[in-house]
Amino acid sequence: MLPEGGAALAPPLGPGDVVEVACSDLIAKTGQAVGRSNGMVVYVLGPLPGERARVRIETVKAKYAVGELIELLDRSPDRVEPFCPVFGECGGCQVQHLAYPAQLEWKRDLVENALRRIGGIIADVRPPVGMDHPRAYRNKMALVVKPRESGVEFGFYAARTHDVVAIERCPIVMEQLDRTIAGLWDAARDPATARGFGGARHVIARAGLASGESVVSVTTDRASGSLPGIAARLAAKLPGVVGISNSFEPPSENAVMGRRNLTVYGNAEMHEEIDGVRFRVSPASFFQVNSEMVGKIFAYLAPRAASVRRVIDLYCGAGTFALFFAKQGARVVGIEENPHAVREARANAALNGVEEQTAFMSGRVEATLRSKVGTDALGAAEVVFLDPPRKGSDEATLEALVRARVPHVWYLSCNPATLARDLAQLVAGGYRLGAVQPFDMFPQTGHIEALASLHRADVAPLEFVNL
């Protein structure tokens, strides 16, 4: 209804307005602070919860406005100086300006609020397990290769855009990968190796914390004609590199890896070892980016996993958790859609001497669970372990667990929103939710991993102790 006189109400804020905003929260995806002015929600990058800021309004939508920070009017005791010179430009980190203990508390709230708001679940969300030194932890990086007049530059995408921020070092990746960045710039400036980046779109590198080895893959639209000829000289500039490959024919414009892969130097995979479990992993594999935190998840699971004899590992990737369960004495069935990852999982099982205890199947999880082999495996399982991608699991898979009345479900998620949605379906299907333990797999970012344990109502729970 129009107000008296027939004129439409103007929005309470307009572009160019300078207002004072009291900030109350952060958006996990972007790191923007959330506040209000004149009754309208305002998003602005820079402030922290509890801070007041002077903000210039840039964009006004129907229900919110986006502003630019002009001045902090007061400072939170949790504010710290970001340690990366391109923080705020690069899209990789969102909360370097928030002290690490406060990051952990904020992330606990993210999980608890998602469970309550999306899943309608009041849960025992424990304090997150964090890192002693929450830097230099990522074992994988995907650099964008950007052509320039004098050759190419390497970087990461800017926050909320596809603009590229040039990166010559990164304090979040492992030190070995940081040295790889320096080596790539050196190679791009050297005429003897620069031609190897002709037509390159991305450079993906993965390193092993235990082995010190790394592997590098250069993504191009078509098979590179120049990379094979300079690969050995390129490897000499990249400390610890044991293999270089060319990934090509990417399936989409935004894909960082291609459908096909050719090893042009050394080995396609590097070694990693976490708490006695050995892995050979390629740049394309799904493998957790924080090896130290995987070890902490193993330690959390170990007391209960030791008594479990039959496990199904859904979305098993290269076998990270399947191999852990097998080393604990269980017989494990792993299901994974990516056939390359399944081949790696089988090779990793042989590497660990547990091939007789493991069986890996390639296929979509929901379809495989409908097959006789999948149905039989569900019927025998004591525990189903799920570690799905950010989109979560699906109704068909969760309904299969409910129908099979699997005694215990352990669900590891990197997305509190989809975790909450999926847990609500399992609880509605007769499961009871036990502890939810977050693990800070991604310090300095808005992401958090959380492990939820569930059990059938007629089954005694497997209690997990705090780390």
Task: Kindly list the catalytic residues.
Answer: 414
Encode 184-215: b = buried (16+ Cβ within 10 Å), e = exposed. bbebbebeebbbbbebbbbbbbbbbbebebbb
Positive or negative, the Cα torsion across 190, 196, 197, 203? negative
CA distance 201 to 193: 16
Positive or negative, the Cα torsion across 95, 99, 104, 106? negative
For residue 220, the SS3 value is strand
Say how far residue 178 (Cα) sits from the centre of its chain. 19
CA distance 9 to 107: 39
Note whether 379 and 404 are within 8 A (CB). yes
- Residues in Cβ contact with 51 at an 8 Å cutoff, skipping those fewer than 6 apart: 22, 23, 33, 72, 73, 74, 75, 76, 79
DSSP state of 127: P
CA distance 44 to 66: 6
CA distance 37 to 64: 10
Positive or negative, the Cα torsion across 327, 402, 287, 345? positive
Burial group, residue 228, by CB count within 10 angstroms (0-12, 13-18, 19+): middle
